[in-house]
Structure 1
Amino acid sequence: MSSELEQADTKPTGDIESESQSYESQDHVILTADQKIAETKKLAEQYGINEKAFMRKVDLWVVPPMILLYFLAFIDRINVGNAKAFGMEKAIGLHGHQYNTALAVFFVPYIFFEVISNKALKIVKPHIWLSSLILLFGAVTIGMGFVKNYGQLVACRFLLGIFEAGTFPGIFYVLSTYYSPIEAQKRFSFFFSSTCLAGAAGGSIAYRIHDLNGKHGIDSWAWIFIIEGSFTAGLALLLFFCIPDFPETSRFLNENEREFLKKKLQIHTVDSGFDYEYTFSDMWTQFKKDPTFIYTSLAYFGLIIPAYGYAYFAPTIVQQSGYTNAQSAQAHSVYPWLLAFGATNIVAYFSDLTRIRSPYALGSGLVGLVGLAMVLGSHDPSVRYGGCFLTAGGLYSCMPQLICWNSLNFNGHVRKALGTSFQIGFGNIGGIIAVFIFLSKDSPRFVTGLSVCLAFTVFALVMICVIAFHCKRMNDKKATVAYRQKFFAREEKEIAFDGDLNPNFEYLY
C-alpha cells in the first residue's frame, strides 16, 4: 500500500495505556472472534433481542430476494448457449465468429457500469434500483426471441450488459452490510449457488421448451428467450417489494433492531460510514492507496474465464461427449450444476465454521483444475463428462469463496462499493476472452479453449495466495503502534472512508 499509513514505523505494539491521548481516545482493543461473539450476546441482552431469532429474520428478508434476483439474471445471461444448441445460429444466419462476438458484446457495458451502479445505490434505494434493472433485463430477453439477424442480436446483448451490470456487485454490496465476516460465507455461498441452480434450470427448461418447437410459428430457441424473459420481468415486480435496502434504512427492521445491527457490526468490523456522502473522487483516492483492489480483481478475472467458458459451452461439450441428441445433451448438462450447488454450500459451511477462507478457495480451485484437465486430456466421453462435474463443482465453489472473502474484507461504504464493483467489473473482462476461445473449428476437443482455462485457473490460484499473504501482512502492519497513531490522528470522515484499513479491523484469510 502506497499511502502514508503504509509508511508507518513498524514499532512493536506496547502497553496501550502508555500511548498518546489520541490513541487512548479510540476503542483500540482488538477482540478475538470468540470475544466478539461474547460482546454481541451482551449487546443483544442490552437491546432485548433474541439474536438467533433476529438473524433468522434477517436471513429470511435478505437472502431469498437476492437469490431470486440473481437466479433470474444469470439464467437470462447464459440461455444463449441453450438457444445455440437448438439452432439459433442457423435460424438467424450467423457465421464465422459472429456468435462469439455477440456473446462478447455483453461484457463491454457490463465492465464499465459496475462502479457507476454501485454508486447509484447510495442515491436510489436498492429495492428500486435493482428491481428496475431486472425488469429491463427481462424485457430485453423477451426481445431476443424475435431477433432476425446478427445486428439485432448484438444490440440486445449490449442492452443486457447495461442492465445486468449492476445486479451482481449490487447484491454483494447490500448483502455484505448485513453480516459480520465470521457468519457471512454460508449466506453468500447459498446465494451464489443460485448460479448453479440457474445453470441446471436453464438446461432443464430448454429440454422441456423443445416441445414447443413450431408453436405459433416460433422456433424452440426463440421460445427459450420469450418464456425465460417473461418470467424474469414478471418477478421483477415482486422483487420491488422484497429486495432489502441498506440496514440503516431497512424497511423490515424496526429502529431498535437497526441500532442493534449497526452496533453488532461495529463490534465485528468498524463504523460503516453510511452517513457520509462520498464522490467518485473519494473512490479514486481509495483505489490509488491500496493494491487490494487490483489483487482481488485479478483473482476473479482468472476464475471468470474458465467459469464462463464452462457455462456457455457445457451443453456443446456434453453433446459432443456422446449425447448426440440435443434434448439429451440438455438433460445431462443439468447434473454437474446440481453437484456444484451442493459442493458450494458444503464448502461454505466449513469455511464459516473454521473462520478461514483461502484454504477452501485454493482447494476448490484445484478440484476445478483437475476437472478441466480431464475434459482436455481424455478422448473418452465418460471421462470428459466426469470432468464437467469436477469443473463445475470446483470453479463454482471457488468463486463465492473469493467474492465473499473479499467483500467482507472491504469495510465502509466507499471501499465496499468500490471493491465489490471493481472486482466483478474488471474480472468480467475475462468473459470477453472466454467467448473467443471456444470456437466451432476447435470442436469437439476444444484444445485451445480448455488449455487457456487451465492456465487462468492456475493464475487465479496464485493470486489467491497473493491476497492471503497481503491480508496477513496488513494485519501485522495494523497491529503496530505507529500505524494506529497515524491512522487515528485524522478527521472522522477520513477514518470512516478508510474502512477496513482501520487497525481495529482484522482481515480474514
Structure 2
Amino acid sequence: MKKPCAIRLLTWRYLIRAYALIFFGSTTITYSLAYFLPIILVESLGFKVGAAQCLVAPPYAFAGFYMFGMGWLGDRYRLRGPIIIANMIMCLIGLPILGWHPNPSIRYLGVFFVTAGANSNVPSVMAYQANNIRGQWKRAFCSATLVGFGGIGGIAGGLVFRSQDAATGYRPGLWACIACSLMNIILVVACGIRFTIENRRADRGEKELEIHDEDYQPGFRYTI
C-alpha cells in the first residue's frame, strides 16, 4: 500500500507545481503590462504622455469582453486546457507585433492581443485547477499556492521591463513574456496528455479516479 500512496502524493505534488507555474507565467505577463504599458507607449511607441494614459484603457476593456467570451466557451464545451493554450497563443501573436512591427499603430494593436490573452488566463487557470484537484484540503492548498505564485509573478512582472532596455524597445522583457507563454503551453499540454490517459483508463474500467479523496465522486473525470 505504501508505494501507491507515495505515487499518488508525488503525482499530486507535480500537479500543484504545474498549476502554480502556469499561474506564475500568466501573472508575470499581466503585471508587467499593468506596470509598464504607459511607459512602453511613450518611450517605445512614441505616444505623448496624455495619449498614452488614455490608450491604456481600451485594451483592458477589450480584455474584459474577451475574458467573458472565453469563459463561456470553456463552460459550454467543458474545456480548460485548450482555452489556456488559446489565450497564450493570443499573447504569442501580440508580443511580436508589439515589439517588432515598424508601425506604432499596428504595435498598439498587439497590446490588445497580449492584454486579452494574459488577463483571460487568470480565471481560466484557477478554474483549471479547481476542476481537477479533488478533496477540500488539497483544493484549498492548491488555491493558496496559486495565489502565492501569482504574487511572485507580480514581483517578476515588475522586473521584466528594465529602463536600460528602452533603447531596444524593451525586447528582452518581451522575450521573457514569450518564454512565459511557451512555458504555459508546454505545461498545459503535459497535463492534458496525462488527464487524457487517466480518463481513458477510467472509461475502460481499469481504475477509478481520485478514489481516495474525502469527497470522492463516482464517475469523476479530469477536465482536459
Q: Within 5 A, what are the aligned runs for 1:393-472?
A: 393-443=116-166, 445-472=169-196
1:323-342 map, 5 Å: 323-324=47-48, 326-342=49-65
- In terms of Rg, which structure is larger? 1
Structure 1: distance between partners of 2:53 and 2:133: 39
Residues 6/479 of structure 1: CA separation in 2 closer, same or farther (3 Å cut):
farther
DSSP-derived class of the 2:121 partner: helix
AA matched with 1:454? I
1:305 to 15, 28, 37: 28
**Distance apart, 1:319 and its partner CA:** 2.3
Matched, 1:4 2:4: yes
Query: Aligned-pair RMSD on alpha carbons?
Result: 2.8
Within the alignment, does 1:505 sit opposite 2:220 as a pair? Answer: yes
Cα drift, residue 460 of structure 1: 0.8
TM-score, L = length of structure 2: 0.86
Q: What SS does structure 2 have at the residue aligned with 1:506?
A: coil
Structure richer in helix, relative to its length: 2
Q: Is the 8 A contact 2:134 2:210 kept in 1?
A: no
Is the Cα contact below 8 Å between 1:3 and 1:289 reproduced in 2? no
> Match for 2:220: what amino acid?
F
Contact 1:287 1:293 in 2 (8 A): no
User: Matched residues, percent identical?
Assistant: 23
Once the two structures are TM-superposed, the CA of residue 364 in structure 1 deviates from its matched residue by 1.6
- Normalised by the length of structure 1, the TM-score is 0.40
1-side partners of 2:5 and 2:200: how far apart? 13
Tell me the number of residue pairs that the alignment of Structure 1 and Structure 2 aligns: 221
Q: Distance in 2 between matches of 1:348 and 1:366?
A: 16
Structure 2 counterpart of 1:294, from 17, 21, 46: 17
- Cα distance in 2, alignment partners of residues 453 and 309 from structure 1: 9
- C-alpha distance in 2, partners of 1:395/1:341? 11
Counterpart CA distance in 2 for 1:360 and 1:507 is 15
How far apart are the structure 2 equivalents of 1:333 and 1:475? 43
For the structure 1 residues 330 and 290, does the alpha-carbon distance in structure 2 shift closer, same or farther, using more than 3 Å as the test?
A: same
- TM-superposed deviation, 1:5: 5.7
The Cα offsets for residues 226-273 of structure 1, whole Å up to 9 and x where unpaired, read as xxxxxxxxxxxxxxxxxxxxxxxxxxxxxxxxxxxxxxxxxxxxxxxx
Measured after TM superposition, the shift of residue 483 of structure 1 is 4.0
Please, which runs of 5 or more residues in structure 1 have no aligned partner?
A: 9-285, 489-494
Q: Which runs of 5+ in 2 are unaligned?
A: none
Alpha-carbon offset, residue 484 of structure 1: 4.2
Q: Which amino acid aligns with 2:120?
A: S
The one of 374, 377, 392 aligned to 2:115: 392
The aligned counterpart of 1:352 is 75
Alignment of 1:1-400 (within 5 A): 4=4, 289-320=12-43, 321-324=45-48, 326-400=49-123
Secondary structure of 1:507 counterpart: coil
Over 3 Å counting, the alpha-carbon distance change for 1:381 and 1:290 in structure 2 is same
* 1:450 maps to amino acid: L
Output one character per residue of 1:112-153: Cα deviation in whole Å (capped at 9) or x when no partner.
xxxxxxxxxxxxxxxxxxxxxxxxxxxxxxxxxxxxxxxxxx
Once the two structures are superposed, residues 194-228 of structure 1 have per-residue CA deviations (whole angstroms, 9 ceiling, x without a partner) of: xxxxxxxxxxxxxxxxxxxxxxxxxxxxxxxxxxx
The answer to whether the 8 A contact 2:28-2:156 is kept is: yes
Higher relative contact order (CA 8 A, sep 6+): 2
Query: Match of 1:416, SS?
Result: helix
3-state secondary structure, aligned to 1:443: helix
8 Å contact from structure 1 (residues 5, 487) kept in 2: no
Could you say what secondary structure the match of 2:222 adopts? Answer: coil
CA 1:486 to 1:396, structure 2 compared with 1: closer, same or farther past 3 Å? closer
**AA partner of residue 396 (structure 1):** N
1:450-469 Cα deviation digits (max 9, x unpaired): 11111111111111111212
Q: Alpha carbons of 1:368 and 1:427: their partners in 2 closer, same or farther (altered >3 Å)?
A: same
1:95 maps to which residue? none
